[in-house]
Chain A
Amino acid sequence: DQQVKQNSPSLSVQEGRISILNCDYTNSMFDYFLWYKKYPAEGPTFLISISSIKDKNEDGRFTVFLNKSAKHLSLHIVPSQPGDSAVYFCAASSGNTGKLIFGQGTTLQVKP
């Protein structure tokens, strides 16, 4: 049972355009959501997070939107840069346990 789903395995965008990565979840107990970026053979690095009490969080070029009623979150990167090319994982947790449930990841390719 996949509680966190990233239905798009890959995404390709042109440099300078907006990248939108989507994530859906099924567990209504999740109260904290995170996005991680991962390069091959490396561990994930934290990108941005959002608490369930908010619907938007912005950090520079990265913005995460949360739609609790739809159990959906998205990561917007604008403008996209070639260095953003990586695998992006969304993750969710509940009750500050620290246990993260990850989605399958979306491979983003930003073309120059």
Chain B
Amino acid sequence: GAVVSQHPSRVICKSGTSVKIECRSLDFQATTMFWYRQFPKKSLMLMATSNEGSKATYEQGVEKDKFLINHASLTLSTLTVTSAHPEDSSFYICSARGWQTNEKLFFGSGTQLSVL
């Protein structure tokens, strides 16, 4: 299947700092990328949908100024958690799809964010 690479896999940061998470499609052009977060023992919750070259569409309740999403190219989307707080600690996962994947979604390996 297609490969989606997500980095870093784990990050620990101090409260008030910003953290950037990268999601790359390695062998296909990702026209659409999705960002999810997962709390322990909870489901994956969709945060936002980003289409290459346009602004991300955020789900209800997700602060767009806090979770900045950039999808500037067909192979890269970034999620920046700005002014992180302990309640932002979570597992963040990206997924991507494109015409080369027959619109099937492929997921990155996730990023465990811990805010101290």
Q: How many residues of B contact A (CB 8 A)?
A: 28
**A43-B6, A43-B110 are known contacts. Are A98 and B32 too (CB-CB below 8 A)?**
yes
Q: In chain B, residues 70-116, which have Cβ atoms closer than 8 Å to a Cβ of chain A?
A: 91, 93, 95, 97, 103-110, 112
Q: Does A25 contact B (CB under 8 A)?
A: no
Query: A102 to B93, alpha carbons, bound, how many Å?
Result: 13
The reply to whether B1 and A46 contact each other, CB–CB distance below 8 Å, is yes
Instruction: With CB as the reference atom, state the residue of chain A lying closest to B94.
Output: A43
Contact of A105 among B9, B43, B93, B107 (CB under 8 A): B43
Question: How big is the A interface, by class?
Answer: 20 to 34
Point out the residues of chain A lying under 8 angstroms from B91, CB to CB: 41
Point out the residues of chain A lying under 8 angstroms from B45, CB to CB: 102
Contact of B105 among A4, A41, A98, A104 (CB under 8 A): A98
| Binary CB contact string for chain B from 47 to 82 against chain A (1 if under 8 A, 0 otherwise) | 001000000000000000000000000000000000
Contact of B110 among A4, A41, A100 (CB under 8 A): A41
The reply to whether B106 and A46 contact each other, CB–CB distance below 8 Å, is yes
Q: Does B46 contact A (CB under 8 A)?
A: yes
Point out the residues of chain B lying under 8 angstroms from A66, CB to CB: none
The reply to whether A103 and B43 contact each other, CB–CB distance below 8 Å, is yes
Q: Does A96 contact B (CB under 8 A)?
A: yes
| Binary CB contact string for chain A from 32 to 49 against chain B (1 if under 8 A, 0 otherwise) | 000010000111111000
Q: In chain A, residues 9-54, which have Cβ atoms closer than 8 Å to a Cβ of chain B?
A: 9, 36, 41-46
| Binary CB contact string for chain B from 28 to 52 against chain A (1 if under 8 A, 0 otherwise) | 0000101010000111111001000
Interface residues of A (CB under 8 A from B): 4, 9, 36, 41-46, 89, 96-105
Interface residues of B (CB under 8 A from A): 1, 4, 6, 9-10, 32, 34, 36, 41-46, 49, 91, 93, 95, 97, 103-110, 112
